[in-house]
Structure 1
Amino acid sequence: MSKIKTRDVKKDIKSLNKSPQTINRMQSLYDKSRRYQKEFDTPTEQSSDEYATNHLSELGNDLASQGKQGAETLLRRASDHRQRVKSRKDAQTIDFQEYSKKGAKQRHAKDQFRRSKVKHGKLDSRFHNMGIGSESNHNKSPLSKAQKRRFKVVRKSTVKTSAHAAKTAYKTKQATQQAAKQSARAVKAAAKTVTEVAKKIAQVAYAGAKLAVAAIKSLVSLLIAGGWVSVIVILIICLFGSALYVFGDSSSNSYTPISAEVEAYTPIIRIYAKNHGIPDYTELIKAVMMQESGGKGNDPMQASESGFNTKYPRTPNGITDPEYSIDIGIQNLASCLSSAGVTNPVDMDHIRLALQGYNFGNGYISWAQKNHGGYSVANAAEFSDMMATKNGWTGYGDKQYVAHVLRYYPYGHINQGIGNTVITQVALSQLGNAGGQPFWSWYGFNGRVEWCACFVSWCADQGGYIESGIIPKFAGCVNGANWFKDRGQWQERSYTPSPGDIIFFDWQGDGVTDHVGIVEKCENGMVYTVEGNNNNSVRQATYSVGSGIIYGYGVPKY
């Protein structure tokens, strides 16, 4: 760019034409603008507001250096303009000193771009109309066409710099939004991956674990019924059940599937479960119905004697409408669950209390909580005997109702280890029973026999293990031992047993078993047992591991 020629200026002349000097300043400003633009294209921590601040500050310094009179004129006009801006409240102050002190603030990209244009538009007008002369002469000198062109170049470059800054800020905002969208997509993809993994595990469970299959089916039922609160908990149980199967835990095989008749009632069960506030307990309701009737008859929930029955006689099988039976039975179970403090479908300690209350009546729940702190096989037997004596009956309810129901409940076996503990609890509940009449008469004998095997079989039946094929029904010790041997479930006397194992004895040492009991536990090299017909009573006994009077062990696949 060629340099504009100007006439010589003598220092002793007070009145000067400052237009050429203004053009030179604009040329300098243009060079600085180009430099600012290059700096902006290079990564920097300065914002677009800081660029504008520096730019205007330098411009003010250049103008102030022109002399006292020119500075006073500039400041006076700046002050006037500041007052106009303050009154209108729609423009930005051009007081360069105050602007520098305030510092830069981030603004919206579009607003920044608009204000930049306004500022530079004001400067256009200022320099175009500015005439800086002596105190007595304020005549303004118009700019030539060449000067105007140069001024436009400077203005365009300055505005372009601010526009570039605004555009960059806008692109940064877009990039941030795009990054947020990508993060959201990543989270969604991760969730999808977790779902696929769960499906794969479920497929493994379907391949062979009956319990996991039932649990997954119940999970689907919960989803359909809207039982979202328990879904995550039960999903964990399902996956845990699958893992047990994969790694060879046979306890999952103790689950007994419900019948087609009970399954057919599922839609009705869901409706009344929701009506009575227990939509998450559909599978438990099915298990109760399975134990009560197998889904057969006009009173499938055996709810006729319930206090909630107001339509039919409160006598056994008094209800003749299956749907009404389901309604009343679910209402009764909901009351028991509430009284027992059940929190979710896998809260097994409280569910056991609620189930026994469903069979005995709600009064058992408060009695067990007050006297024993909750449910146990022993206190269920105690309550049954107490109520039978009080009413002059031979029996009261089902002492083993909990075990009978839970064999049909998919969540009742995995997390509580019910398989090898129920039979020992049942056996312990009979301690002190003398003569064995309940056990040999249950088996089918009309008079007393050596009843140790009858006792073991009775305990197994109370836990549902005979029906599920886990333990045989046997009255002779030899037959019982051979049953386990034939299935590869036999261990010799040196074996360290587990609770629930069936222990066989050989009193004579002749290689023939002649007594049987149930292992309660094994600790510190000692085997603790519960035995029927031990001196004609149910008693506990203790033996050393590997004792010579031990014949061997049947090991049920709980």
Structure 2
Amino acid sequence: MLSIGKAIKTREVKKDIRVLDKAGTAAERIREATIRTKDAAERSPSPQETSANDYAINRTSDYADRAAHGAARQVQDQSRRAVQRVQAHRADRMAESAENARAEAEQGVRNIGDEVRIKTRERADGMVKAKGSTEPSIKALPEKEKNIRQSIYSAAKSRRAARTGLEKAPKRTIKTSDQTGRLRIKTASEARKLGKNSIRTAKASKRAIKSGRATAKTARESSRAAAKASQAAAKAAAKTSQTSAKVAVKASQAATKAAITTGKLAAKAAAAAAKAAATAGKALASALAAGGWVAVLILVIIVLFGGALCLVGAGNANAVEPVSAEVQAYELLIAKYAREHGIQEYVELIKAVMMQESGGRGGDPMQCSACGYNDQYPGGITDPEYSINIGIRYLADCLHAAGVTSPMDLEHIKLGLQGYNFGAGYIDWALENYGGYTQANAQEFANLHGGSYGDVSYVPNVLRYYPFGRIPTGAGNSNIVNVAASQIGNVGGQPYWSWYGFSGRVEWCACFVSWCADQCGYIDAGVIPKFALVSDGVNYFQSKGQWQDGSYTPKAGDIIFFTWSGDGSADHVGFVENVTDGTVNTIEGNTTDSCARRSYPLGGYMILGYGVPAY
């Protein structure tokens, strides 16, 4: 049975040795797989190769990764099991050897004891048979006793040797097993390290492959982007060519839109106040540089009350359009010549005039070549500084002639501005006939000089760039009148009915009124309703208690409703521009399919009544 057990254990040990050999072979395969992976990475396809090559690279990288991880795990597990079996086998063999030695020693002791007893008995028998004398037996006794003692000593010594062998055998077995285990563990550790190195190498190769794929992807995306850019350029060229044919048709509409003199009021007073403060801040810096205390005081008022302007309805700082960078670049020259000509508090007004005249461009930014003060450039001024000097000098004359008292004196500033455009003769004529400026008498003056004389909307066009031009100046609302006046000449009403939401032309007089109100922010503020039916407008103002009949004397900005047959039906609507000498002057949309001025007798039968918004 012992021999069979030994044979089985010997086979197991040989099997474990074969496992370790396989572990070494696996480690060698890992090393070879790593080398193949590196070679594959070095031979990775260029970014221009196809996706099939990318697939092959991915498969190679995945195979190397899986092989490295699997082999490392197999080596580790098999090495651990082999070491454990070898240690157990070694311990069993040593224990078996010790047990055999102990059994042999005990058997030896028993054999020696038996031999000693036999010899002792034989010697005793010999002594009894000797009858002649007892002396030999007495002499032989010590020798025999010595032999017995030696035998006993030898047996004891053998027993001690066996015991010592039994004690030392397990220690030697354990030491040998420990050495063998450490050797196997060291081998397994080296195999694991090799596996880890292979895994790191495989990962590095995989990163290199991914980098190659990323480069290829970038190249493909660049190619697609270039192709798209080329197509976009081709489409843009085609679109430009198609659009150019429409430019001429839309030119008049674009010019009309560009002529809008005011922007929308802000829906929120906070935003309006912030923008008013920003605009006034720039003006304040200019006024401080000019030393104008009156202008500083006015700007402080604007900062304090700018946010409330949108509520009272006469425009606000949000409606002010900024001057161009070209105009701003002349600010120092403007301040210099404003001081020289005594209007240092009007720097912002001068900038607004320059913006309307030229936008700050060209050699004559103040457009004053025809001014009587130009004695250096009879063919037209080409020196910007000279133009600024002459233009400010002429504007100062106009402001003085109009009786302007401060940058806030808008009624007289309007007269002076129209005089700058028409010539100083207009100021005297307007004062003598009307006591001042109105847009209606500006039109009349132009008609007296051929109808196409100057710019009858010059004043609202300038004031859209002037921050002080948004301060309320009295009853009525000139701001919405200025917006309506800026649309005079529009034919067809397309901007208004399309803004309202119609896809085709409709009777658009109410759409025009609503559009102007929206430009001022009055629809959002609930001051004027958005309506396309004239009767809806009548019903709104009547429901609000803001309705006056035809006998009422209206103010600028009131909304006039007409009944052509006098039967009380609401047929048409427009804005009141002013009332002069018993005549109501209006600005209307869709009158002969255009925006135009009209006049009616105060209290005439065709006037149904007036909506009086709470501006």
Q: Which one has a bigger Cα radius of gyration?
A: 2
What's the TM-score bracket when you normalise by the shorter of the two chains? 0.3 to 0.5
Please, what TM-score do these two structures have when normalized by structure 1?
0.45
Give the number of the structure whose residues are more often helix, by fraction. 2
Q: Which has the higher contact order (CA 8 A, sep 6+)?
A: 2
Please, what TM-score do these two structures have when normalized by structure 2?
0.41
